[in-house]
Structure 1
Amino acid sequence: MERDGPRRAGPAHDDPGSMHVAKAERTAETRERILAAACEVIAEVGFEKIRMRMVAEHAGVSTALLHYHFENRERLFAEAMTHSFGQTGTELERDADTVPASVILARILHNMLPTDPELRQDWRLWQELWVRALRDETAQKLAVDLYDQLHTWLARAIRRGIDAGEFADCDVDEVCTLLLSLSDGFGIRLMLDDPKIDLAAAQAAVWRAVAGTLGVPDTFPEI
C-alpha cells in the first residue's frame, strides 16, 4: 500500500547516538547544578556543618542522585573547589592580543581579590580550604595544586608582557609569588571588612609592589 507522503524521521531520542549525547548533556548539567549549589552552601555554612542533604535540596535533586555523582562530602568539596576555581576569570584574557599586558595583569589581580559577591563567595571557599588543608593531606594537595595554577596564570600574563616589550625582564616566579602573597594578605583583610583597608588601597598597594620590577607606572591600570 502506497503511503500518502514521505516517511518522517522518528524523534531524536529513537537514535541511540542522540540518546547517548542527550544523556551525557543531562549528566553534565546535573553535575554543574550540584557543584554550583555546593559552592553556595559551603560558602554559607562552612564545610564542617554541611550535609549532603543540604546540597541536594539546594540543587533540587535527590540525595540518592547526589551520592551517585559524589560518593561523600569530601569528594564533593574537592570538586566544588575545582569548579569554583575554574569559573573564576575565564573571560579575563579574551582580548589579550589587543590590550596592553598591564591591563590583563591588572584584571587578574582584581579577580584575585574579593571584589564582588561572586568573588567573595570564592574567597569563603578558599578560606574553608585553608582550614581543611591544615588537617587533611588531600585538602593540602588540592590547595597547593590550585596555587600552582594561579602561579601559572600570573606567569603567563607577565611573560606575555616581557615578550611584547611592555614589562622589563625579571624573575617571573619571584614576582608571581609576591603577587599571590600580597593578594592573600589584602584579600583576608577585605573579607574581614577591616576599616583600615579598602579595595582601591589594596589594589594600589599590590600594583606598587611590582611596578618598579616590571618597569611600568605605579598607578593601577584602568581595567
Structure 2
Amino acid sequence: MARAALAAKAPEERRERIMLATIAVVRERGFAGTRVADIALEAGTSQGLVLYHFGSLAGALAAGLTMLEDEFYDDFAHHLAAEDGPVERLRFMAELAAGRGAAVGNWALWLELWARALRDPDARAVRESQDRRWRAALRRVIDEGVAAGSFSPSNSAKSVLRLAALMDGLAVQLALNEPGMTSRKFTELWWESAVLELGITEPAKRGKAPR
C-alpha cells in the first residue's frame, strides 16, 4: 500500500499517523514481532521521527492505546447516557467489554500493554490510568444503581474491584481464543456475577451480546 510522506505534515498529524501505524502493526504482529522500522514504514516516516515523538516502541504503543481510549470514552459517554437506568447501563458496559468496543473490547492490544507494564514504567503508568478510568465509570453506574434502589452491594468499592478483576480475567480467555469463550459467554458469566454481587433483581432489557 502506498503511503504518503509526512515530512511536510504538522507535528500533531504526524504523531497521530505514527500512533495509528503502531496500533495497526502491533495488532498484526504483536509487540515482540514489531520493530520501529515497521512502524516508520507503515506511517510513511522515518525511524528517527518515531523515536523523536515517542522515545521508544513501548512509548508509541502506550500513546496509541491512550488515543484509542480517549476516542472510546467520547463514544462511550454518549451511548451510556442513552441507556434507560443503571441496570441497562451496567449491562451495556458488560457487552461493550465483551467485544463491541473499539478500545476496551480490543483485549489483545491491552494484553500487549499489560506485558510491557511488568518492566516498563511508562507502560505501567498508562495501564494504571486505564484501569482507574474504567473502574471509575463502573463505580458511577453502581452508585447510581444504589441511589435508585436497583443495586444493594455490601461494599461498593469492593464490588468494583471484584467485578473489574473478573472482567479482566474473562478478557484474557477471550483474547486467547479459549475454546467455548465467546463475547456472549463473556457477557453471561460476568452478568451472572454482577447480579449476585450487586443484588440485582430487575432483569436487563438489553439484547444478548454478539457471539
Task: Return the TM-score normalized by structure 2.
Answer: 0.78
Root-mean-square deviation (Å): 2.8
Matched, 1:72 2:56: yes
Matched, 1:92 2:92: no
Q: Kindly tell me: are residues 69 and 134 of structure 1, through their superposed partners in 2, closer, same or farther at Cα, counting changes over 3 Å?
A: closer
- Of 64, 71, 91, 1:106 maps to 91
Q: Could you tell me the percent identity over the aligned residues?
A: 26
* Structure 1: 5+ residue stretches without partners: 1-24
1:26-175 aligned within 5 A: 26-94=10-78, 96=81, 99-115=84-100, 118=102, 122-168=106-152, 170-175=154-159
Moved more, 159-168 or 210-219: 210-219
The aligned counterpart of 1:7 is: none
Q: Contact 1:104 / 1:157 at 8 angstroms: preserved in 2?
A: yes
2 CA distance for matches of 1:55 and 1:206? Answer: 36
Q: Secondary structure at the match of 1:212?
A: helix
1 CA distance for matches of 2:76 and 2:174? Answer: 22
Matched, 1:182 2:190: no
Q: Deviations over 1:35-68 (max 9, x none)?
A: 1211121122222332222112212333343334
Q: Which has the larger radius of gyration?
A: 1
Q: Kindly tell me: are residues 221 and 119 of structure 1, through their superposed partners in 2, closer, same or farther at Cα, counting changes over 3 Å?
A: farther
How far off is 1:154 after superposition? 0.9
Q: Kindly tell me: are residues 143 and 99 of structure 1, through their superposed partners in 2, closer, same or farther at Cα, counting changes over 3 Å?
A: same
Task: Return the TM-score normalized by structure 1.
Answer: 0.74
1 CA distance for matches of 2:13 and 2:123? Answer: 26
Q: Kindly tell me: are residues 183 and 213 of structure 1, through their superposed partners in 2, closer, same or farther at Cα, counting changes over 3 Å?
A: closer
* Structure 2: 5+ residue stretches without partners: 1-8
What is the letter of the counterpart of residue 60 of structure 1?
G
Q: Contact 1:53 / 1:63 at 8 angstroms: preserved in 2?
A: yes
2 CA distance for matches of 1:42 and 1:199? Answer: 22
How far off is 1:150 after superposition? 1.5
Equivalenced residues, count: 198
1 CA distance for matches of 2:41 and 2:167? Answer: 34
2 CA distance for matches of 1:219 and 1:160? Answer: 16
